[in-house]
Amino acid sequence: MANLDFSSIPPALGYLFGQGMVVTLMITLVAASWGILLGLILAAMRLSHRRWISVPAVLYINFFRSLPLILIIFTFYFLIPYVLGWVLQSPFPVKVGALNAAFISFTLFEAAYFAEIIRSGIQAVPKGQIFASQAIGLTHWQMLRYVIYPQALRNMIPPLLMRSLILFQDTSLVYVVSLTDFLGAASNIGQRDGTLTELYLFVAASYFVICFVISKLVNRLDQRMKTVR
């Protein structure tokens, strides 16, 4: 430990947080937003009594929850360009790009987990609300939109935020496709200055502080919501 040199970190903070962390947050926000939206649709499909609607949602959720995230990232970055080239009859692979591959991979992957969180929140709503909605003639989609979702939202918020926090941590995987996220920026500085160990320790400490603080805030929010209920 006495040989560690952290002197290269302060001059690099602008690059680490101004570029690396920006990419990390951008992937997190985009994937969380679209993932929750897709998760809403999947949860509604899975709760449908029509098998031709519910079965595809079940297959989608089980499929993505059974695969490692890094494999999905590799698939969209390396394999999908060749598939698109074959479909479009192009002599060259269709370039997807590392950032687009990250957006798509994280969105599709996280949607499966968001869907299960949303489904649990919906099922926590009292059955009487469902019977009342059916009694006044609401369709399945109208019931979800106007009655179930607003009440279930309170149950969903804490676990959705915690899952988004896990997504924030998982974004470090984009380093394998050469995206300059927070970890990638730290690696660039470490390789340049010969201080990889110091930079990785700084990244680990940064992730710990950020995630610890946010998890505590989410827990307090959850306790407050339970008190209100």
pLDDT at 103 over 90: yes
**Which pTM does this prediction carry?**
0.88
For residue 112, CA distances in Å to 24, 36, 51, 109 come to 21, 9, 18, 6
Q: Which amino acid type is present at position 108? A: L
Domain count along the chain: 1
Q: State the average pLDDT for the chain.
A: 89
- Output b/e per residue, 35-70; b: 16+ Cβ within 10 A: bbebbbebbbbbbbeeeeeeeebeebbeebeeeeee
In a domain, 1, yes or no: no
In a domain, 143, yes or no: yes
In a domain, 3, yes or no: no
In a domain, 26, yes or no: yes
CATH number, domain of 206, equals 1.10.3720.10
pLDDT at res. 110:
96
In a domain, 133, yes or no: yes
- As a whole number of angstroms, the distance between CA 133 and CA 147 comes to 7
Q: DSSP readout, the chain?
A: -TT---TTHHHHHHHIIIIIHHHHHHHHHHHHHHHHHHHHHHHHHHT-S-HHHHHHHHHHHHHHHTS-HHHHHHIIIIIHHHHHHHHTT-SSPPP--HHHHHHHHHHHHHHHHHHHHHHHHHHTS-HHHHHHHHHTT--HHHHIIIIIHHHHHHHHHHHHHHHHHHHHHHGGGGGGGT---HHHHHHHHHHHHT-HHHHHHHHHHHHHHHHHHHHHHHHHHHHHHHHH-
**Closest by Cα among 122, 120, 128, 111 to 145:** 122
In a domain, 27, yes or no: yes
pLDDT at res. 227:
65
**Radius of gyration of the CA atoms of the chain, in A:** 21
Range of the domain at 57: 9-228
Q: Band of the pLDDT at 228, cuts 50, 70, 90?
A: low
State pLDDT tens for residues 150-201. Answer: 888 878 888 999 999 999 999 999 988 888 999 999 999 999 888 888 999 9
State pLDDT tens for residues 59-79. Answer: 999 999 999 999 999 999 988
Residue of 210 and 148 predicted with greater confidence: 210
